[in-house]
Amino acid sequence: MRRTKKRRLNPRDAARLKNGTVRKRRRKRKYMLYYILIFIIFVTTAVSLSLTVFFNIDEIVVLNSGVHTTDEITSISNVKIGDNLLRTSLKKIEDNILDVCLDFDKVSVKRSFPNKLIIDCLPCDVKFCYQKNDGMYVYVSSYGRITETEQSAPPDNTLVLKINTDVFEDCQKGQYLELSQEDKTKINTLINKLDSIDCKDITRIAFDESKIYVTYQNRIVIEIPEISKANYMIDMSMKIIDDYIGINEHGKIFLDNSSQSVHFLPENI
């Protein structure tokens, strides 16, 4: 089989070929710079139009406003029809409303393109009631916002908590509760346990420096020596209540340290 010999270029043709390749590369770089410049101009124009001409608010929707009117919430939010949707600070709107409407737990603001702003409010519900050192009560919502202070009695069907802390002594309505991490852990441990067994008859949980006292139906006190024994004590106490204690009996359930067994002591003994 015969091989075809490659024809050698003379110096002039080789120079032309080389110059042509260089010119193609230069032309390609020029086009690339041109495309980048066009892209930058396009993006800049689009952003400028978005922040000035397009996406201006023409509708404000307020959801779950409770006792407040839509106009009232809109006024408090400090946002107006015609404001630019992209330039509007959602966090600032949420803070403005929460600062004035102390009966809201949470406010969520969302953009709905092209021209709508949605303000979704969550009114407070009283989940817990804390008893102060002077015997007065502070109502607290699910999100830890104080809804009422200096109340003489707890609301019906609301769990009462008593904690050794001065957090509640000078608290104000609308303030968010700030408990220590230790207190939060104790409370969450007990609440999660009670929720897991669907126990809705606990009326009071009190903490002192050494023990925890969980009150069942305002008549039986479960004495828990430390938080690590809470699950065991609650499980055993519920079994004793269901199997051995009459519906009108009063007393306390406690742990015998010597035998690590749980017992019920009637109130009249």
224-233 pLDDT, tens per residue? 999 999 999 9
Q: Is the pLDDT of residue 41 over 90?
A: no
User: Which among 171, 105, 178, 184 has a CA at the least distance from the CA of 138?
Assistant: 171
Q: Which pLDDT score is estimated for 122?
A: 95
- pTM for this prediction: 0.72
* DSSP assignment of 80-131: -TTSBTTTS-HHHHHHHHHHH-TTEEEEEEEEETTTEEEEEEEE--EEEEEE
Looking at per-residue confidence, does 140 or 48 come out higher?
140
At 153 the pLDDT is 93
Per DSSP, what are the bridge partners of residue 131? 137
More confident residue, 136 or 29: 136
Structure tokens at 191: 């609440």
Of 119 and 22, which is predicted with more confidence? 119
pLDDT tops 90 at residue 164: no
- Domains of the chain, by residue range, sit at 59-123, 126-266
Selected from 3.10.20.310, 3.30.365.10, 3.60.20.10, 1.10.10.1100, the CATH number assigned to the domain covering 59-123 reads 3.10.20.310
Q: Which of 131, 165, 163 minimizes the C-alpha distance to 150?
A: 131
Show Cβ contacts of residue 12 under 8 Å, excluding neighbours closer than 6 positions.
none
55 versus 119: the higher-pLDDT residue is 119
Q: What is the pLDDT of residues 182-212, one digit of tens each?
A: 888 888 899 899 989 888 899 999 998 789 9
Does 195 or 97 have the greater pLDDT score? 97
Q: Give the pLDDT confidence score for residue 6 in this predicted structure.
A: 53
Q: What confidence category does residue 106 fall into, taking pLDDT thresholds of 50, 70 and 90? A: very high
CATH of domain 126-266: 3.40.50
The two structure tokens encoding residue 59: 């509708």
Has residue 221 got a pLDDT over 90? yes
User: Residue 8 above 80 pLDDT?
Assistant: no
Q: Quote the pLDDT of residue 237.
A: 94
Average pLDDT over residues 207-220: 91
Q: Above 80 in pLDDT, residue 175?
A: yes
Q: What is the pLDDT of residue 170?
A: 83
pLDDT at 19: 58
Place of tokens 């207190």: 183
Confidence band (pLDDT; 50, 70, 90) for 140? very high
pLDDT digits (tens, 9 = 90+) for 230-249: 999 999 999 999 999 989 99
